[in-house]
């Protein structure tokens, strides 16, 4: 009798497993059919088979090429269900005119949900409004901006400059400047946003392991958006295999860091502090929600600033006349001292050079929304409900229709009128987004990058080590970072040999 019962149980188990397998296969087939992965147009074929890589080093360069060829500055990648545009009128339509119809959307939130959770960059509606209001109150105050500048200036003087000085003493050993800027930005944003020095947080592993986890999680999360059907990564996630297994383990490390940050801040107290986390902790008790907020601001403050600085010094090494002009301006306004906040604001040529660098190499190369209801973009392009609509700052910086025939040239002068910086329309230059979701950390990021540039360029020559025909190759990720880093040689300027700087 027991044997009969056991046989029946085995039969039922096999039957259940078989039915589940058939149901899963059927669901998978439906999802694949809905993904329109059968499209065999020239663009989709090039995307699926990566034949674009025979001519272009980066996917963004291929997109820019396609967008330049389009009469409207808009293209369709059917296998991704993605409409991509470099048309400023469309950008304004999405980010301002019809803002409510182009939210981040559930599809986007799903892609980045494991990493960013309910953080400000991954939500819409009330959750977004609440976090934005809280962050705006903090980042918009004069006292907090002064507090942030003091932190950045201290980091530059006591950590960045001594490191570069040490590297200049051994010119035979190249330095990965991208890695340096990532560490610098990580430490600065940790102090500004959380009031904590990363070196003082009680962690089970070295900080470098957590920074590597951020890079890996960013890369793998971005790869989710690149597959023709989301079912691919969702199945791998369910089975915990391949890239999804790696992503889960990376996020576990990130979670540990975030939890320790929150606990350390709670231990120190947060009632009367300037940092962003303290303001949120005064009203939020949900540790998971706080974790999402910590990760969102940490990633944004670290990766975007590091990307902006890295690409700036790559371009600067190719344009010595621009470097000389910046040095002249810094010497005139700040002399041998570290530039004060008010002096930075008067450095119009430096400001122009930074904006010109980000025009060509924006830290966030593209940004996607999802169409809530059927709509027609400003250029007449129809987009159906559920369509992913992407505006592409990287391609926009390379459009003759926007910037003229010299759009591929690095010319800070295009931003100056009578020697004074003149900003462009944000929908033409959406490097910091535009409309209702314009970046609230814009002024702080600009201040941080200008502080670094003014200090470094005054005392050092940065020579990028470029082989014959070198062209930057981007790594997959949420921001524009270089796949192979930025290897440089640092040389202390001969005219600065006798000049001491704080921290040396």
pTM higher than 0.85? yes
What integer pLDDT is reported at residue 2 of this predicted model?
58
Binding-site members are 439
**What's the rounded Cα separation, in Å, for the pair 400 and 383?**
25
Instruction: Annotate 211-244 with DSSP letters as a single string.
Output: HHHHHHHHHHHHHHHHSS-HHHHHHHHHHT-HHH
Tell whether 234 is covered by a domain: yes
First-last CA distance in the chain: 85
Tell whether 312 is covered by a domain: yes
Close Cβ partners of 148 (under 8 Å, ≥ 6 residues apart): 192, 444, 447, 448
What CATH number has the domain bearing residue 435? 1.10.630.10
Binding-site members for heme are 439
Provide block-wise average pLDDT over 10 residues at a time, the chain (504 residues).
Answer: 58 50 47 57 93 95 97 95 97 97 90 91 90 83 86 96 93 89 93 85 79 91 86 91 95 93 86 77 90 90 94 97 97 92 96 98 96 97 96 98 97 97 97 94 95 97 85 88 94 65 39
DSSP state of 52: G
- 491 CA to centre of own chain: 29
What integer pLDDT is reported at residue 500 of this predicted model?
42
Tell whether 218 is covered by a domain: yes
3-state secondary structure 424-472: CCCCCCCECECHHHCCCCHHHHHHHHHHHHHHHHHHEEEEECCCCCCCC
Per the DSSP assignment, residues forming a β-bridge with 416 are 421
Tell whether 14 is covered by a domain: no
Tell whether 504 is covered by a domain: no
Tell whether 1 is covered by a domain: no
**What's the rounded Cα separation, in Å, for the pair 281 and 269?**
10
Tell whether 104 is covered by a domain: yes
Please report which residue ranges of 346-417 form alpha helices under DSSP H: 348-360, 393-396, 400-403
Number of domains in the chain: 1
Tell whether 322 is covered by a domain: yes
- 150 CA to centre of own chain: 24
**What's the rounded Cα separation, in Å, for the pair 298 and 283?**
20
Domain that holds residue 135: 35-496
Which tokens hold the place of 344? 């930075």
Q: Are 149 and 461 in contact (CB under 8 A)?
A: no
């Amino acid at each position: 009798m027991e044997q009969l019962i056991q046989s029946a149980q085995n039969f039922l188990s096999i039957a259940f497993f078989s039915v589940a397998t058939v149901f899963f296969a059927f669901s998978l087939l439906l999802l694949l059919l809905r993904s329109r992965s059968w499209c065999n147009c020239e663009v989709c074929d090039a995307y699926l088979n990566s034949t674009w890589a025979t001519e272009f080093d980066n996917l963004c360069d291929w997109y820019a090429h396609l967008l330049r060829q389009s009469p409207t500055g808009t293209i369709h990648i059917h296998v991704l269900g993605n409409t991509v545009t470099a048309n400023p009128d469309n950008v304004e339509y999405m980010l301002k005119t019809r803002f409510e119809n182009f939210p981040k959307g559930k599809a986007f939130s799903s892609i980045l949900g494991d990493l960013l959770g309910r953080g400000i960059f991954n939500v819409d509606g009330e959750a977004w409004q609440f976090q934005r209001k809280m962050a705006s109150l903090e980042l918009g105050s004069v006292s907090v901006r002064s507090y942030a500048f003091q932190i950045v200036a201290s980091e530059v003087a006591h950590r960045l400059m001594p490191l570069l000085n040490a590297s200049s003493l051994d010119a035979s050993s190249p330095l990965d400047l991208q890695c340096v800027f990532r560490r610098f930005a990580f430490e600065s944003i940790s102090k500004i946003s959380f009031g904590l020095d990363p070196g003082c947080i009680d962690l089970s592993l070295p900080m470098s392991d957590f920074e590597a986890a951020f890079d890996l999680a960013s890369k793998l999360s971005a790869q989710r958006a690149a597959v023709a059907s989301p079912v691919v990564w969702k199945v791998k996630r369910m089975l915990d295999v391949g890239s999804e297994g790696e992503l889960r383990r990376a996020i576990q490390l990130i979670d540990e860091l975030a939890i320790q940050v929150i606990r350390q801040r709670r231990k120190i107290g947060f009632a009367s502090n300037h940092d962003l986390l303290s303001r949120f902790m005064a009203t939020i008790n949900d540790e998971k929600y706080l974790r999402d907020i910590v990760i969102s601001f940490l990633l944004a403050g670290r990766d975007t600033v590091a990307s902006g600085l890295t690409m700036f010094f790559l371009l600067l090494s190719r344009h010595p006349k621009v470097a000389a002009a910046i040095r002249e301006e810094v010497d005139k306004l700040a002399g041998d001292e570290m530039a004060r906040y008010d002096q930075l604001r008067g450095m119009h040529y430096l400001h122009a050079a930074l904006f010109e660098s980000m025009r060509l190499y924006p830290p966030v190369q593209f940004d996607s929304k999802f169409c809530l209801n059927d709509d027609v973009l400003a250029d007449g392009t129809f987009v159906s409900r559920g369509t992913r609509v992407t505006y592409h700052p990287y391609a926009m910086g390379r459009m003759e229709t926007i910037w003229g025939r010299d759009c591929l040239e690095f010319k800070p002068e295009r931003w100056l009128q009578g020697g004074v910086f003149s900003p462009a329309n944000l929908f033409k230059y959406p490097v910091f987004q535009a409309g209702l979701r314009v970046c609230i950390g814009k002024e702080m990021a600009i201040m941080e990058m200008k502080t670094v540039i003014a200090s470094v360029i005054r005392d050092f020559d940065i020579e990028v080590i470029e082989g014959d025909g070198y062209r930057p190759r981007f790594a997959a990720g949420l921001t524009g970072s270089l796949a192979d880093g930025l290897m440089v040689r640092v040389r202390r300027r001969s005219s600065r040999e006798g000049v001491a700087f704080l921290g040396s």
